[in-house]
Structure 1
Amino acid sequence: MPAWAGEVADEHPYPLAFATVSGAHLYGFASVDSDLDLRACHILPLHEVVGVDTGPETVQIDGMREGMELDVVSQELAKFIRLLLRPNGYVLEQLLSPLVVRTSPLHDELKSLAADCLTAGHARHYLGFATTQWQLYAKTAELKPALYTLRVLHTGIHLMRTGHLEADLRVLNTLPYVPDLIEAKRAGEHDALPPSLVSPERLAADVERLTAQLEAARDASHLPEAPSAGPALNDLLIRVRLARTAAELLTHAEPLDA
């Protein structure tokens, strides 16, 4: 993670509850030319919430920094909470990412409620994401969508079986050829998958098997059907809105090691 990632977060036009790194860096297979995917949660001032002209629920900033492409996306607190209460593994991965650029007491409160947002319905997110990436691989034969497919399926299986969210494919991997695929991808974000590392037939068979495992893990999961964190998250949002300023609750969003 580049040292200037925190500077990018500090340039955001609104106070941040947190900023974390997502994408290939979180998933354990960043390339030398991978984008830096920053994901964040911002808080609008009260007048941009209750006024006629409201502020943006989503802020997206693109650019370049020291030769690296930036993809910065933040969701306003209310929208982020709504997404948390849906079976959306993507926002949970952002919230719980260990690659923390900026954090705050509000970030800690949101994380403390994350376990009560997990449901068996999150399998639908991971199955859908895997299908999309597998279709992309069929069109491009690139390493990136192949690794994304395997990462998503492993994450979904682990979540359904354990109730714990883990996004790093290096931690979850069950396939002997994946370390070689990760190493090959380091050379380029859009390089083709070398058939010498794994045959298309073997890869397809493993994707089919992992998909079946995820479906079986979903059916056997002890995770609830619906989240239970709704009332607590609603109370948290009201507390933020009623504070005189967002800074009162956030204090200062600082680096994790500060």
Structure 2
Amino acid sequence: MKEHIVDVINQIEIDHFVKILFACESGSRAWGFPSKDSDYDVRFLYIHKPDWYLSIDQKRDVIEVLAGDSVSLPIDPLLDMSGWELTKALRLFRKSNPPLLEWLQSNIVYYHSYSTIDQMRELEQKIFSPVSCMHHYLSMAKGNFRDYVQGKEVRVKKYLNVLRPLLAAKWIEKYDSIPPIEFQELVEELVAAGEWKDSIANLLERKRAGEDIFVETRIDTINESLYKEIEHLEAYAKSLKKQISDPTSELDMLFRGTLREVWDEEWMELGHRG
């Protein structure tokens, strides 16, 4: 599949007149609990030629391969692939966007070109906002807990959809830093040995075996633990007030530097025109 993904990346660059800077896995495969038939959730960042940015009109800043954006080669049905234009990504980076921070930490990287991502990684702790990230993960955990695990029967996968953001929020509480993307690392660091940890290990094993579609009786011990943790984290989130400095000037420089690095000839031509 990696070769196919790289082929699609190369074709996107040709068809859309862009350069892709980075592409990684972002879903259950990156979290460490894929099923046998899990999709490949590939996310990427890209940059247009300098002239694209010289317009008074706002243009579309995403490419979604399976949502109608043309790519002139057949796409594997298991491939879910979409990307953000660099200025969009940097505006979200400035806001400490948790999905983007996860992409930068992904251990499954399909493509990495130029120095942009390395520079973003150097800045990520500076732009990290525990307030916005805590609220993101806690909101996700609460919503999934409310919507998916309150009934008498629950799918295996749904418990993990609550546990992953919940443990990410607990990591922020404990370490005041960006949580790791791998679920197992969160479990080992934050869940003490005992019945709850054993239950999580059982859920992981069943998810990886492809049992995530099965419906079973609700596991009350897990539900009780989840409810208590959510209550605790809600109280903690209210106490968070940390402010971060505005990184806009550094991100502007990063963007301009990327234009020069990627499109050297076009950038020089643009400078002569000015």
TM-score range, shorter chain: 0.7 to 0.9
Partner in structure 2 of residue 246 of structure 1: 262
Provide the alpha-carbon RMSD of the alignment: 2.7
Inter-partner Cα distance in structure 1 for 2:245 and 2:93: 9
Larger Rg: 2
Are the aligned partners of 1:87 and 1:125 in contact in 2 as well (CA < 8 Å)? no
Q: Matched residue of 2:48: which SS?
A: coil
Query: CA, structure 1 residues 210+247, in 2 after alignment: closer, same or farther (shift >3 Å)?
Result: farther
How many residues were matched structurally?
Answer: 241
1:158-201 per-position Cα deviation (integer Å, ceiling 9, x unaligned): 13321142121111112221121111112337513544xxx432
State whether structure 2 residue 129 is matched by structure 1 residue 119. Answer: yes
Deviation at 1:91, TM superposition (A): 1.1
Inter-partner Cα distance in structure 1 for 2:129 and 2:82: 25
Partner in structure 2 of residue 106 of structure 1: 116
1:217-255 per-position Cα deviation (integer Å, ceiling 9, x unaligned): 54676x9333543321122123334x2x73449xxxxxx
Partner in structure 2 of residue 28 of structure 1: 32
* TM-score (norm: length of structure 1): 0.82
Deviation at 1:97, TM superposition (A): 1.3
Match of 1:184 among 199, 206, 218: 206
Inter-partner Cα distance in structure 2 for 1:61 and 1:73: 6
Deviation at 1:58, TM superposition (A): 0.7
Inter-partner Cα distance in structure 1 for 2:216 and 2:182: 22
Q: Matched residue of 1:94: which SS?
A: helix
Deviation at 1:125, TM superposition (A): 0.6
Deviation at 1:55, TM superposition (A): 4.8
Inter-partner Cα distance in structure 2 for 1:171 and 1:6: 28
Are the aligned partners of 1:6 and 1:101 in contact in 2 as well (CA < 8 Å)? yes
Q: Matched residue of 1:225: which SS?
A: coil
Deviation at 1:146, TM superposition (A): 1.7
Partner in structure 1 of residue 157 of structure 2: 144
Q: Which stretch shows the higher mean deviation, 89-98 or 51-60?
A: 51-60
Aligned sequence identity (%): 23
Are the aligned partners of 2:199 and 2:222 in contact in 1 as well (CA < 8 Å)? no
Partner in structure 2 of residue 256 of structure 1: none
Inter-partner Cα distance in structure 2 for 1:227 and 1:4: 41
Query: CA, structure 1 residues 146+247, in 2 after alignment: closer, same or farther (shift >3 Å)?
Result: farther
Deviation at 1:132, TM superposition (A): 2.7
Inter-partner Cα distance in structure 1 for 2:244 and 2:37: 39
Deviation at 1:51, TM superposition (A): 3.1
User: Structure 2: which 5+ residue stretches go unaligned?
Assistant: 67-73, 192-196, 266-274
Partner in structure 2 of residue 60 of structure 1: 64
Partner in structure 2 of residue 10 of structure 1: 10
Q: Matched residue of 1:51: which SS?
A: coil
Inter-partner Cα distance in structure 2 for 1:53 and 1:164: 35
Are the aligned partners of 2:126 and 2:244 in contact in 1 as well (CA < 8 Å)? no
* TM-score (norm: length of structure 2): 0.77
Inter-partner Cα distance in structure 1 for 2:134 and 2:163: 14
Inter-partner Cα distance in structure 2 for 1:27 and 1:119: 21
Deviation at 1:103, TM superposition (A): 1.1
Inter-partner Cα distance in structure 2 for 1:89 and 1:205: 27
Are the aligned partners of 1:116 and 1:228 in contact in 2 as well (CA < 8 Å)? no
Are the aligned partners of 1:77 and 1:237 in contact in 2 as well (CA < 8 Å)? yes
Inter-partner Cα distance in structure 2 for 1:80 and 1:42: 9
Q: Which stretch shows the higher mean deviation, 4-13 or 18-27?
A: 4-13
